[in-house]
Amino acid sequence: MENDKDFVFRNADAASRKELAVFASWVLGFKNADHHREWYDILQNRLMTPKDGNWDSDLVPADKPNNLIALLAPRSHSKSTSFTVNYSLWRLGLDPNIRILIVSASQSQSEAFLREIKAQMTLNPHYRRVFGDLFPAEALSNVMSSVKWTNTEIIANRSNPKLKDPTVAVSSAGGSVLGRRADLIIVDDVLNEKNTNSKSWRNCLTSNAYLQANGNFNGCHLFGSRQKLTACSFC
């Protein structure tokens, strides 16, 4: 007979697969604030919109998925954790065949996000219980794997052998992702204090950093914090 602890775990695990906010708190141990729950609602296509574009009318559920999202929020609000780490891990768990591209201002920052994602996949027992072992066995040892599992890209245990692009790949804002196919592109603080001061850099980044994907994506989420009055950190 199932005891109370098993009952709680089973129901919380099931809720984690359905609700991003529950996943973040139950599986990852993240303390959600109200603004995080609002962001998760946006990511899960729960936006309300005026009927027929008439802002004098009542708000109704959006009739189209939020495939293109841009968010501006102050620093220290856990944007990167909520979008780049939590959301990526949740989407990957639900669909190991997904292809995610993460772009940040520097290569080292992008790789830091991937390190956290890899650590949660391999070392978090709650994640492994909810979604199973999505990593190659060699990821837990020093043995070289025939499956891609590096600092810049990983391939999860997936069912579609025809996929050529990695499950998660990372790049700097100035890096080339020409021809890269991704189902989801996450653009996280692509401008910093140094390149924000240059208009030519900002123009270069908006034309090259993530748009080089040639439109081969189903969703693109951009977010960051304001650096200057003339530029946000994602534009």
Q: Would you call 98 helix, strand, or coil by DSSP?
A: coil
Query: Which residue's entry shows tokens 């009542």?
Result: 58
* pTM for this predicted structure: 0.82
Q: Looking at the domain assignment, is residue 25 inside a domain?
A: no
Q: Looking at the domain assignment, is residue 138 inside a domain?
A: yes
Residues counted in the chain: 235
Distance CA 197, CA 156 (A): 39
Q: Looking at the domain assignment, is residue 36 inside a domain?
A: no
Q: Looking at the domain assignment, is residue 15 inside a domain?
A: no
Per residue in 37-74, pLDDT (tens digit) is 989 988 888 877 777 777 777 777 777 777 778 788 87
CATH code at position 186 = 3.40.50.300
Q: Which residues form the domain of 149?
A: 67-232
Q: Looking at the domain assignment, is residue 57 inside a domain?
A: no
Which segment of 52-66, 84-98, 104-118 scores lowest on mean pLDDT?
A: 52-66
Q: Looking at the domain assignment, is residue 4 inside a domain?
A: no
Q: Looking at the domain assignment, is residue 85 inside a domain?
A: yes
How many domains, the chain?
Answer: 1
Of all residues in the chain, what percent carry a pLDDT higher than 90? Answer: 40
Average pLDDT of the chain to the nearest whole number: 80
Q: Looking at the domain assignment, is residue 29 inside a domain?
A: no
Distance CA 162, CA 104 (A): 28
